[in-house]
Amino acid sequence: MRTPAVQVRNLQKSYDGRAVVDDVSFDIARGETFALLGPNGAGKSTTVEILEGYRRRSGGAVSVLGMDPEQGGLEWKARLGIVLQTCGQSGLLTVREQLRQFAGFYPNARDVDEVISAVGLQAQAKMRTSKLSGGQQRRVDVAMGIIGRPELLFLDEPTTGFDPEARREFWELIRGLKADGTTILLTTHYLDEAAQLADRVAVIADGRLRAVGPVETFGGPEARVPLVRWQEQGVLREARAAAPLAFVAELTERLGYEPEQLEIVRPSLEDIYLELVASAAGVPAAEMKETVR
């Protein structure tokens, strides 16, 4: 078996005695797309910055492409691609000029025109990046991230601000990178994006890893029990029921009428995620979901 692209064991990071990352462990296989999810302030960004080599850990062990990120030199860094929420494009350069400049930083860079084609910017190759739409500029960010042929690509909130059509086009781009064998670590607040792109998902909240697993079985069997939702006395309620039809029959009998806004749904990734985050925050899941909505 090949060594995982990323290995994290009992990772710790503290500031002034307060743990912001507390005993986090996970692996990312080579060629896998792994989504790390969590609310703001959960420790997600700190974890990713440690993996990228930007931040030192307080404890635990980390290996990224076989190297401790704290010891990684230029040769190791050239094997990574990093797409931040905002990247340092020069608005005065054209798309081709920007990528040609970045290609010079790597020992085995991709062909510039090949990358432009991969991100779907052939028609904009001679345009200044300042003249591009937001979605097109994000494609330039990704092009800059993959120009060095990275073995591991970090994508930080890649589609924030995209319209639905642009998001789906971007997803196809990411699927193409995965098909080429690129390992991808994705952070996103869009749960449908994680469900569409990731092989596995991990949720971190209050500094701790709450769950990790394949999208299809995430959260385990109990989390996959159907949800019954209804409105009662103006309040939206929900309950898990292994036999939802029998539950609805008993509910109708108790109320004396058919509940309003009644629906039976199989929990989505978003439902499971919100329950995990709510549990970490010590608030009812229904309250967390209502806040999000």
pLDDT tens-digit series, residues 103-127: 999 988 999 998 998 888 999 999 9
184 three-state secondary structure: strand
- Cross-strand bridge partners of residue 201: 35, 213
Measuring CA to CA, which residue among 141, 132, 196 is closest to residue 164? 196
pLDDT tens-digit series, residues 26-72: 999 999 999 999 998 889 999 999 999 999 999 999 999 999 999 99
Quick one: pLDDT at residue 283? Answer: 67
Share of the chain above pLDDT 70, in %: 94
Residue 46 tokens read as 């700190």
Measuring CA to CA, which residue among 62, 75, 53 is closest to residue 28? 62
Quick one: pLDDT at residue 162? Answer: 75
Contact in structure between 280 and 210 (CB atoms under 8 Å): yes
Mean local confidence (pLDDT), 220-229: 83
Q: What is the DSSP letter of 151?
A: S
* Dihedral angle sign, alpha carbons of residues 49, 53, 59, 64: positive
- Cross-strand bridge partners of residue 213: 201
pLDDT tens-digit series, residues 162-209: 778 878 888 888 898 899 899 999 999 889 999 999 999 999 999 999
How many CA within 13 A on the CB side of residue 227?
18
Q: How far apart are CA 230 and CA 86, in angstroms?
A: 42
Mean local confidence (pLDDT), 246-258: 92
Quick one: pLDDT at residue 222? Answer: 76
Question: What pTM, to 2 d.p., does this model score?
Answer: 0.81
Phi-psi region of 111 (alpha: psi -120 to 50; beta: other; left: phi over 0): beta
What is the domain partition of the chain in residue ranges?
220-292
